């Protein structure tokens, strides 16, 4: 199925989506890195995380979540943490991920000067390129970020 961008509907995730999102996450990430049901449920319920889904013809093609971290100093801009972006393999390279990221920025009220960060596994070059394309810059390598074994790049984007 090829969603054209007009046919793609982006909406906030609801708890009824949980089973589908758990399934998608388990397809997108290796066991142990994929979120267990209870952690995804916590994301959906959290008031400091916005989770959006992208639907093509009523089927969820992907989802993305962004959380808000308390700023550490009054002068610092709010830091949003891109928690995850998951796009099902058959919907990849059709700008579903770009649409989800853009929708997160629009719906979270982030503004010029705000900073975003994310972590991406060092063995995930496709996602690294995706984030580079979105304007994230590689910062430091975080040892054993995933499963106390796999390093991650921390990346930042200044809006
Ligand atoms: C990373 C991911 C979210 C990208 O989603 P997507 O919908 O396929 O990405 P888009 O089509 O919006 O890509 C936008 C641009 O990013 C870049 N890009 C995306 N995927 C890429 C890849 N695998 N390799 C190189 N560049 C890539 C390209 O420049 C692309 O534009 P183009 O296709 O016009 O050249 C998707 O591959 C995925 O779900 N992967 C598994 C889960 C994951 O790793 N998530 C991110 C880590 S938290």
How many separate domains does the chain show? 1
Note the pLDDT of residue 19.
Answer: 97
E-strand stretches of the chain: 8-12, 49-56, 59-69, 79-87, 115-121, 137-146, 150-158
Q: Work out the percent of the chain whose per-residue pLDDT is above 70.
A: 91
The structure tokens listed for 63 are 């989802």
Question: What is the domain-level CATH number for residue 119?
Answer: 3.40.630.30
Express each pLDDT in 87-99 by its tens digit. 999 999 999 999 9
Read off the DSSP letter of residue 24: H
- Distance (Å, rounded) from C-alpha 76 to C-alpha 56? 38
Is 119's C-beta closer than 6 angstroms to any atom of ligand 1?
A: no
In this prediction, residues 6-23 reach a mean pLDDT of 95
Q: Indicate the pLDDT class of residue 113, thresholds 50, 70 and 90.
A: confident
Q: Which ligand 1 atom sits nearest the alpha carbon of residue 99?
A: 12
Q: Which ligand 1 atom sits nearest the alpha carbon of residue 134?
A: 16
Task: Identify the residue whose C-alpha is closest to ligand 1 atom 17.
Answer: 130
What value does the mean pLDDT of the chain take? 92
Q: Which of 84, 101, 126 to mutate to test the pocket of ligand 1 (most atoms within 8 A of CB)?
A: 126
- How much distance in Å is there from the Cα of 96 to the middle of ligand 1? 9
Global pTM?
A: 0.94
In this prediction, residues 65-78 reach a mean pLDDT of 72
Range of the domain at 25: 5-158
Residue 2 has pLDDT above 70, yes or no: no
End-to-end CA distance of the chain: 33
Alpha carbon 37 to chain centroid distance?
Answer: 17
């Amino acid at each position: 199925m090829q969603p054209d961008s007009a046919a793609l509907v982006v909406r906030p995730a609801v708890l009824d989506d949980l089973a589908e999102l758990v399934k998608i996450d388990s397809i997108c990430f290796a066991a142990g890195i994929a979120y267990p049901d209870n952690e995804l449920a916590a994301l959906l319920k959290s008031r400091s995380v916005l989770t959006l889904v992208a639907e093509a013809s009523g089927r969820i093609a992907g989802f993305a979540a962004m959380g808000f971290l308390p700023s550490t100093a009054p002068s610092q801009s709010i830091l949003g943490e891109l928690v995850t972006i998951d796009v099902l393999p058959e919907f990849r390279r059709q700008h579903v991920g770009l649409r989800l990221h853009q929708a997160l920025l629009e719906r979270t009220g982030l503004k010029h000067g705000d900073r975003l960060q994310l972590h991406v596994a060092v063995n995930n070059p496709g996602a690294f390129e995706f984030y580079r394309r979105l304007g994230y810059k590689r910062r430091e390598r975080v040892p054993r970020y995933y499963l106390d074994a796999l390093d991650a790049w921390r990346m930042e984007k200044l809006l």
